[in-house]
Chains A and B, each alone.
Chain A
Amino acid sequence: MVLNNIKTLIEKYNNAETSLQEEAQLKAYFNGDHVAPEFEHYKPMFIYFSKSKQEQYTKDVPLNSKKTKLYQWISVAAVAVLMLGLIVPSFMGPTEEEKQEALMVYNQTMEAFSLISLGMNEGKTQLSSLALVGENINEGAQQASKLSQFSIMTNKILKNN
């Protein structure tokens, strides 16, 4: 009776039609000591399945992964770089002497520039007098043209006479 039952179960099992309960039944049967000789060759399969299920994962999982640690250190590094950027120039910057020298050079150049601008202004006034001269010359030229007209006229009169 039991044998018949197992036989039909195995048939169903091979066609993948068994339910989980039926499979558990088969497993229990084949893990037991009284397996009929005609099904002996199924035994290792079911024993293997039951044994495999007992295998366990024993390794620890480091949940605080290295990556997050790296991210933490990146912010620290960024702050350090920023601080260096702020502190180094103020320490390594120009000394008092260098500053005074620079100021002197600046003042000298400013003086030289103001001198040049003075000369420029003088030159400008002289230029305006030149422009006046130019105007007078133009007037003279006009008068000269009148004169030449006059001489042409006198020549004509002389020819007629």
Chain B
Amino acid sequence: MKQADFVSLVMPFKDKVFRLAKRLLVSREEAEDATQEILLKLWKNNNKIGDYKNVEAFSMTMTKNFCLDRLKSKQASNLKIVHSNYTDNNTSLQHQVEAKDSVDWVSKIMEDLPEQQKIIVQLRDIEEYDYEDIAKMLDMNETAIRVNLSRARKTIREKLTNTHQYGIK
């Protein structure tokens, strides 16, 4: 496989790999490093890539494992927390500030979720994979995924409701 073929194969999902890495590692730099590492690993095995039925799912599994390893290793013990910038909301300034605040709050809530739930919410609610694909990526059955997802969604909702109603932060 030539470099151009590889790039066109990897292009569609490299952002997804990056976002999953960022969800788990929080820091943008760490996530960029992880993504680079994963793409290089794929490139190194590019003669075997044809054997994989679903390169994207395979890459997502790789990303998950890689990031969990990073989290376990000592290297990741001094992770920095970097927030990404959100683009214009197209509403009034007051609204915008408020919305940005609560949107930021969602990302903080998600940071507190257990790793497994983080991954599942990321794959389902953000990347919009169907359950079958997620099951393959995480090597879990669909019921377990649904249970975890439901738990995560309820946790997010509860925390959001709390802040919304009582302003607890």
Contacts and interface: CB of A to CB of B under 8 A. Distances in A.
Interface of A: 13-17, 20, 23-24, 33, 40-45, 47-49, 51-57, 59, 61-63, 65
B43 to A, nearest CB: 5
7 contacts: A16-B146, A24-B128, A41-B165, A44-B160, A47-B99, A59-B35, A61-B36
A16 B44 CA distance: 38
B130 interface: yes
Interface in B1-51: 3, 6-7, 14-15, 17-19, 22, 32, 35-36, 39-40, 43-44
Interface string B97-115: 0010011011100000000
Given A42-B157, A44-B105, A63 B99 contact: no
A23 B125 contact: yes
Interface in B44-102: 44, 84, 86-87, 89, 91, 99, 102
Contact of A16 (B35, B39, B147, B165): B147
B150 A14 contact: yes
B130 A20 contact: yes
Contacts of A51: 86-87, 103
A55 B86 CA distance: 9
B35 A53 contact: no
Interface residues of B, number: 46
B126 A53 contact: yes
Contacts of B149: 16
Given A43-B102, A45-B157, A57-B14, 9 more contacts: A14-B157, A20-B130, A41-B160, A42-B160, A48-B107, A53-B127, A56-B18, A57-B17, A59-B36
B19 to A, nearest CB: 6
Contacts of B146: 15-17
A1 to B, nearest CB: 24
A51 B85 CA distance: 10
A-B pairs, 10 with minimum CB distance: A57-B18, A44-B102, A41-B164, A48-B106, A16-B150, A16-B149, A16-B146, A61-B39, A48-B103, A49-B125
Contacts of A44: 99, 102-103, 105-106, 160
